[in-house]
Amino acid sequence: MSQATLEIRAISGHAGSVPGAGVKRELEVCKLIDTTTCIGCKACEVACLEWNGLTFSETTFQNSYQTMPETAWNYWNLIKFNEHERDDGSLMLLMRKDQCMHCEEPGCLAACPADGAIVQYANGIVDFQQDRCIGCGYCITGCPFNIPKFSPQARKVFKCTLCADRVTQGLEPACIKSCPTGCLHFGTKAEMKELADHRATQLREHSGFAKAGVYDPSGVGGTHVIYVLHDASDPEVYGGLPADPHVPWTVQLWKKPLKWLGNLAIVAGVAGVFIHYLRYGPKTVPEDLQGGKP
Amino acid sequence: MTNGWIDIKNTDMMLIMGGNPAENHPCGFKWAIEAKRNRNAKMIVVDPRFTRTAATADLFLQIRAGADIAFLGGLVNYAIQNNRLAKEYLLNYTNASFLVKEGFQLPENGLYSGFDPATQTYDKSTWNYQEGGNMAGKAAPIDRPAATAAPAPAVLPPNVAYDLALEHPRCVFQLLKKQYARYTPETVERITGIPKDQFLKAADLFTSIRKDGDTKKVASVIYAVGWTQHTVGTQIIRTAAILQLMLGNVGRAGGGVNALRGHSNIQGATDMAGVFDLLPGYLKMPRPEDTDLAAYLKRVTPTVSKPGPWDSFSYWSNTPKFAVSLLKALYGPAATKQDDWAFHYLPKIDRQYSWTQLWDRMYRGEVKGLLSFGMNGVMIGPDTKKNIAALKKAEWLVVGELYPDETSEFWRAPGTTTEQMRQIQTTVYRLPCAGFAEKDGSFTNSARWLQWKNAALPPPGDARLDQDILAQIFLRVRDLYKKEGGKFPDPILNAAWSYTDPQHPSLSEVTKEINGKALADLKDEKTGQEIKTGQQLPGFAWLKDDGTTAAGNWIYCGAWTEAGPQLARRGTEDPSGLGIYPNWAWSWPANRRVLYNRASCDVEGKPWDPSRKQVWWNEAAGRWVGNDVPDFKADSPPKDHMGPFIMNPEGVGRIFAPLAAFAEGPFPEHYEPMESPVKNPLHPNQSNNPVVKKFTTAEDVYGTVEQGFTVICTTYRLTEHYHYWTKHNPMNVETVPEPFVEISADMAKDYGIEGGETIKVTSARGTYIAKAFVTRRIKAMLIDGKKMHQIGIPIHWGYRGIAEDAGKTANTPANLLTPTVIDPNAFTPEFKGFLVKVEKA
Ligand code: SF4
């Protein structure tokens, strides 16, 4: 999507100042997912496919209602189903909508060596710019939520954009629009936090979920996608939601003193590709991938 | 639904049973979530499987498929024993105080009084009220034998005997108490497999709305085909109705007995008589003994039957007006008074023509051809094999469809050899039809709203609108009758067909015809309002039995008036905040959103809960007024004690359903499914529904535990798929790509089955092959003390579709397994709770 319509806060692999930084501060957006009212209907999955024009892929039955084991380069929004037995022996069917968390301190962006391949807008959305992506996959190691996915055909990495294209036009993301139960909400971070806290309190006081709470992990500076959980003390049971996500230390290290070194390596890599091109000609893109995005 | 989708948000308590709204009605389910979020409403889910609905419930109980009456009967018993009753409601708005005839016997041995084993039918003459007025304090002669005098005609007595103290041993309440006293928590556990402590927890929670005499709170019962698809389906729903009447929940915002419809227009199909024994608007179909209109009307028009001091509107007493107006709509000028309004044109049903029975007759070679529109007949009926065999015997088959479906390709069903195909003589015509987005018209949803829609795009290629195809067939058949005559050409030649373009009737014209119009100038003497000849009627109160009005369906009268298509309204105002939205679309009857809403007030006409005011009596105006349209005689003052259930001749809700209302008895009784793993613990000698008749062809076989069919099986839909359509759509297929069988982790262990392994499920009729879905969401159960397994099969796959065409499934429709046996009231097949065996494939 066009970068012109959104104010940028941070840019991957970029030396020097961020264009327009400090000029204007937009409201920070946030998606609230109330897992306690999600019914796993997958309307959000399909809306995501449709809005983003993602290609159909073949799936197989995996002894679960879950569409596939994890999100894919062409499947950015996945409900994770988990049968969880509580201490009293009663069963819970946990359904958590998994997608990019749009971290305040995005590990992917920190890890990315390509100038402008990942940007963070002032509204909090972390967006990949595939035209700048070099397919190195560093962002994948940088993400504590296992979100960016490499497309072997496009040789680029893809993930949820929080429908940045819709959001700039004043619309909610496609998943929010499609959700029938209203378990998804969209607004400013402050509003969503308040709504989430309110719901968590209700769950504690009226529904017997003493440990209900809000997931907005501080290890990544908070996220622009937050959850209400029945049991905030144990997010791992929701299909491996990390209890205390952090950007890996290797990436943190890389981000600071080692980055210039890495940049050198990248330059060498790009040079290698250029030499490859000179010798063998351009790589052909598979037909179904021609014509832009995934 | 007695109430509506949005109204669910007003509830304090939900019992969701026999339905899985989160998966099958996800958009409507938002209102259940709203109730939880905004009112802290509680949700109890009872289902054979822990579904995605159960995932949001406060309490989930796993029940054996087919044991619903035992559970609900247990709740009735619990409410009575613990005095969790709406006393004033029960007394004044139900027939609890009515006295039942001597000779009526409860089914302690499994049978009500009057059973004839030879014909498997009941003589229902004792299933009636006593004649006689106030009987308070007058003890009944104990155990007087049934009157053996000459049988009186089976009608309800006009002056019903009653006891407002509810103490008379023959009063409905005492009989009810006695009937369900047998449904103790222990018995409930034996039959349903729900442990006693869990049952008691649910019973306490559900009836807690009437704790300590509270009359403000309200509970909703929400169900779908998980209740209807049993040999006792209608009686399951009856039990829920009894429970809701006892708790005073019918007619109230957030209450009711709410059937969730599984298709966008199933409610409309029923309203418009997509059922063989009905005419539009729930008028009864004539029978051969109805030799003329008068005889028919005498049989079907009820007469008032109530305690002397009470009043009853008995709205069905207007049946003659509805019937004559229908005949005028059907036959136009040919329906004249001299000619008995062309009543003799109407077909008379000499037998039952329900779906399963029709296909049975096709199988027997008695039905020569089939027009199949809007359904995939091979897939939807019980026993796919029999249905395919039936089509082979038909001379012709016309299928109107969007996709190449299993019905139009029955001749190449898996396992059919080329040689066998050559033998099939059926001529198949497959007509490409328009899809829902390519047609205009209306849907009637579960909430009884008629909603007009526009076509989004024209049908592609050669596809045509259903009404165009039907018009072609009709016009050509009429031409043939014109040219060649026939046994009885009149009904065809004289059928009204006055559309602007007879070849392509527009659905707006059809809808206006259904609403009805004046055939002469009409005047309301009270208000002075006039309607001119040819004008659309504003409502069914204008219908006449003298031929001056025509209406294709009296309950839809008001949907398309002179003011325009009311069903196309899109007003989003909701002044009361109760989700009534009076200007959105149009709800039958008369734009009422909650049926029987008079019962939302106490006897004085004041709302039980002032924070949920629907209608109320305005003394100054001398009228019932409110946020909703009062479902009542608007000027009947509370002191007249007119009953709120105006469609019953009693004026009150029927806890005891007298006479011919139901085939198997005035109170529901638990009977085992036709294929059951146990003998009925209540009465082993009368295990099944006594009036259910089995089909008798060679295909109609029923399995037993002795034959090795020990596993209980149920079928259902998934949220990711829509019946047999979406298997052609890549996105749906991506979300759930393959068929599977849900089995419990306990069973997987017992059988040595791994998740994802291919297994074979076999019933007495056929075999289903798919991968095992091993889950903890189903558990082994103790039924009557024995450990039993229960499995579930989604119905969506057949032998045409993306996965099927790619050779990724075993091409076995789920209904290969299901038995040909039906509910004797609604004729719905028993798709839930039949017996199978399970093996590794
Ligand atoms: S649309 Fe909403 S309810 Fe449905 S799966 Fe997605 S988040 Fe859950």
The neighbouring-strand residues paired with B219 are B13
Residue position matching structure tokens 């979300």: B735
pLDDT digits (tens, 9 = 90+) for A216-232: 999 999 999 999 999 99
Q: What is the distance between the alpha carbons of residues A130 and B547, in angstroms, rounded to a whole number?
A: 73
Range list of H helices, B443-506 = 466-484, 490-493
Considering only the beta carbons, identify the residue of A39, A50, A60 that sits closest to B26. Answer: A39
Q: What tokens does B654 get?
A: 């029927």
What is the predicted pLDDT for the residue at B127?
A: 97
Whether the CB-CB separation of A124 and A245 falls below 8 Å is answered with no
Provide the 8-state DSSP code for A257. I
* Residue ranges matching CATH 3.40.50.740 in chain B: 355-491
CA atoms within a 13 Å half-sphere pointing along the CA-CB vector of B837: 12
What is the predicted pLDDT for the residue at A248?
A: 86
Considering only the beta carbons, identify the residue of A41, A65, A202 that sits closest to B26. Answer: A41
Q: What is the distance between the alpha carbons of residues B829 and A80, in angstroms, rounded to a whole number?
A: 35
The strand pair at B449-453 and A78-85 is best described as unpaired
Task: State the fold for domain B355-491.
Answer: Rossmann fold (3.40.50)
What is the predicted pLDDT for the residue at A258?
A: 56
The Cβ of residue B607 has, within 10 Å, a number of other Cβ atoms equal to: 20
Stretch (H or E) spanning B192? helix B185-192
Whether the CB-CB separation of B624 and B605 falls below 8 Å is answered with yes
| Model confidence at A253: pLDDT above 80 | no
Give the residue, by CA position, lying nearest to ligand 1 atom 3.
A38
What is the predicted pLDDT for the residue at A7?
A: 74
Q: What is the distance between the alpha carbons of residues B30 and B719, in angstroms, rounded to a whole number?
A: 14
Q: Which residues in chain B show pLDDT less than 70? A: 139-153
What is the predicted pLDDT for the residue at B612?
A: 97
Considering only the beta carbons, identify the residue of B33, B737, B755 that sits closest to A182. Answer: B33
Whether the CB-CB separation of A97 and A45 falls below 8 Å is answered with no
pLDDT digits (tens, 9 = 90+) for A61-75: 999 999 999 999 999
What class is the B684-840 domain? mainly beta
Q: What is the distance between the alpha carbons of residues B158 and B137, in angstroms, rounded to a whole number?
A: 22
pLDDT digits (tens, 9 = 90+) for B132-170: 888 887 765 544 444 445 554 579 999 999 999 999 999
pLDDT digits (tens, 9 = 90+) for A133-172: 999 999 999 999 999 999 999 999 999 999 999 999 999 9
Chain B residues in contact with A50 (beta carbon < 8 A): 731
Residue A249 pLDDT class (50, 70, 90 cuts) = confident
Q: What tokens does B834 get?
A: 């039949």
- DSSP helix/strand/coil, B304: coil
Domain boundaries defined on chain A: 8-246, 253-292
What is the predicted pLDDT for the residue at A251?
A: 81
Q: Is B277 on the interface with A (CB under 8 A)?
A: no
Cβ pair B737:A61 closer than 8 A: yes
Best CA proximity match to A223, nearest among A197, A184, A192: A192
Cβ pair B55:A67 closer than 8 A: no
**What secondary structure does DSSP assign to B216-265, as a single string?**
S--EEEEE-HHHHSSTTHHHHHHHHHHHHHHTT-TTSTT-SEEEPPSSTT
Q: What is the distance between the alpha carbons of residues A49 and B433, in angstroms, rounded to a whole number?
A: 28
Angle between the N-to-C axes of helices B68-81 and B172-181, in degrees from 0 to 180, rounded to the nearest 10:
120
The neighbouring-strand residues paired with A72 are A75
CA distances from B1 to B4, B75, B616, B825 (A): 6, 21, 22, 19
Residues contacting A120, CB < 8 A, separation 6+: A8, A9, A10, A11, A106, A109, A126, A127
Chain A residues in contact with B755 (beta carbon < 8 A): 63
What is the predicted pLDDT for the residue at A265?
A: 59
Measure the N-to-C terminal CA separation of chain B; round to a whole number of Å.
43
Q: Is B473 on the interface with A (CB under 8 A)?
A: no
What is the predicted pLDDT for the residue at A23?
A: 45
Q: What is the distance between the alpha carbons of residues B111 and B122, in angstroms, rounded to a whole number?
A: 9
Q: What CATH number was assigned to the domain covering residues B6-262+651-661?
A: 3.40.228.10
Give the residue, by CA position, lying nearest to ligand 1 atom 1.
A179
Best CA proximity match to A94, nearest among A105, A106, A81, A110: A81
Q: What is the distance between the alpha carbons of residues B606 and B91, in angstroms, rounded to a whole number?
A: 17
Best CA proximity match to B761, nearest among B753, B749, B769, B751: B769
| Shortest Cα distance, chain B CAs vs residue A245, angstroms | 27
Counting ligand 1 atoms within 8 A of each CB, the residue from A50, A77, A78, A79 with the most, and so the one to mutate, is: A79
Q: Is B50 on the interface with A (CB under 8 A)?
A: yes
Ligand 1 cavity residues, CB under 6 Å? A 38-44, 79, 97, 178-179, 181, 183-184
* Residue ranges matching CATH 2.40.40.20 in chain B: 684-840
Q: What is the distance between the alpha carbons of residues A214 and A195, in angstroms, rounded to a whole number?
A: 10
What is the predicted pLDDT for the residue at A225?
A: 98
Average pLDDT over residues A263-281: 52
Residue A294 pLDDT class (50, 70, 90 cuts) = very low
Residue A254 pLDDT class (50, 70, 90 cuts) = low
Q: What is the distance between the alpha carbons of residues A254 and A266, in angstroms, rounded to a whole number?
A: 13
- DSSP helix/strand/coil, A279: helix
- The alpha carbon dihedral of B411, B412, B413, B414 has a sign of positive
The Cβ of residue B526 has, within 10 Å, a number of other Cβ atoms equal to: 7
Nearest CA in chain A to B22: A39
Considering only the beta carbons, identify the residue of A46, A183, A206 that sits closest to B735. Answer: A46
What is the predicted pLDDT for the residue at B147?
A: 47
The neighbouring-strand residues paired with B566 are none
Best CA proximity match to A132, nearest among A157, A150, A152, A108: A157
CA atoms within a 13 Å half-sphere pointing along the CA-CB vector of B812: 23
What class is the A8-246 domain? alpha beta
Q: Which amino acid is at B725?
A: W
Nearest CA in chain A to B29: A181
